Amino acid sequence: MKVAVVTGASRGIGRACALRLAEDGMTVVVNYSRSEAAALEVVEQIKAKGGDAIALRADVSDPAAVKEMFKTVWKTYGQIDVLVNNAGIVRDEYLLMLTEDSLNTCLDLNLKGYFYCAQQAVLKMFRKKSGVIINMSSVSSKMALAGQSVYSATKGAINSMTQTMAKELAPYGIRVNAVAPGFIETEMIDALPDDKREEYLKNVPLGRFGKVEEVAAMVSMLASDATSYLTGQVIVLDGGLSL
Ligand code: NAP
- Mean predicted lDDT score pLDDT of the chain: 96
Secondary structure string (H, E, C) spanning 139-191: HHHCCCCCCCHHHHHHHHHHHHHHHHHHHHHHHHCEEEEEEEECCECCHHHHC
Identify the pLDDT of residue 190. Answer: 80
Region 199-213: what's the mean pLDDT?
A: 94
Does the CB atom of residue 157 touch ligand 1 within 6 A?
no
The torsion angle over the Cα atoms of residues 113, 124, 219 and 46, rounded to 10 degrees, is -100
Give 18-54 pLDDT, tens digit per residue: 999 999 999 999 999 999 999 999 999 999 999 999 9
172 catalytic? Reply is: no
Which residue is catalytic, options 32, 151, 172, 200?
Answer: 151
Region 68-72: what's the mean pLDDT?
A: 98
User: Could you give the CA distance from residue 172 to residue 163 in angstroms, rounded to a whole number?
Assistant: 15
Q: Which atom of ligand 1 is nearest to the CA of 12?
A: 26
Nearest to 86 by CA among 192, 193, 204, 222: 222
Does the CB atom of residue 8 touch ligand 1 within 6 A?
yes
Does the CB atom of residue 29 touch ligand 1 within 6 A?
no
Identify the pLDDT of residue 187. Answer: 82
Give 101-138 pLDDT, tens digit per residue: 999 999 999 999 999 999 999 999 999 999 999 999 99
Identify the pLDDT of residue 115. Answer: 98
Q: Which atom of ligand 1 is nearest to the CA of 59?
A: 19
What are the Cα distances from residue 126, in Å, to 80, 117, 160?
A: 10, 14, 22
pLDDT at 60 over 80: yes
Identify the pLDDT of residue 199. Answer: 87
User: Could you give the CA distance from residue 30 to residue 6 in angstroms, rounded to a whole number?
Assistant: 6
Please report how many Cα atoms fall inside a 13 Å half-sphere around the Cα of residue 180, on the Cβ side.
24
Burial of 97 (0-12, 13-18, 19+ CB in 10 A): exposed
- Gap from CA of 24 to ligand 1 centroid (Å): 22
Whether the Cβ atoms of residue 147 and residue 122 lie closer than 8 Å to each other: no
Q: Which atom of ligand 1 is nearest to the CA of 209?
A: 40
Does the CB atom of residue 59 touch ligand 1 within 6 A?
yes
pLDDT band at 152 (very low <50, low <70, confident <90, very high): very high
Residue closest by Cα to atom 36 of ligand 1: 138
pLDDT at 189 over 90: no
pTM: 0.97
| Beta strand ranges found along 1-159 (DSSP E) | 3-6, 27-32, 53-57, 82-85, 131-136
Question: Is 175 or 197 the better-scoring residue by pLDDT?
Answer: 175
